[in-house]
Amino acid sequence: MSKQITWDISDFNMRSAQIIPAMTQAVSKAVGEAGDELLRLSALEVPHDTGELQNSGKVDKGDLEASVSYNTPYAVRMHEHPEYKFQKGRKGKYLEDPLKNNISKFRNIINNEIKESLK
pLDDT of residue 1: 66
The stretch 68-74 carries a mean pLDDT of 97
Cβ-count burial 18-56 (b if 16+ within 10 Å, e if not): eeeeeeeebbbbbbbbbbebbbebbbebbbbeeeebbee
**14 belongs to a structural domain:** no
Question: Does residue 29 form part of some domain?
Answer: yes
Report percent pLDDT > 70 for the chain: 99
The end-to-end CA distance of the chain, in Å, is: 43
Count up the domains in the chain and report the number. Answer: 1
DSSP state of 102: T
Within a domain: residue 44? yes
Question: What domain range includes position 27?
Answer: 21-117
Percentage with pLDDT > 90 across the chain: 71
The pTM (predicted TM-score) of the whole model is: 0.85
Select from 40, 33, 49 the least CA-distant residue to 85.
49
In a domain, 110, yes or no: yes
What average pLDDT is seen over the chain?
93
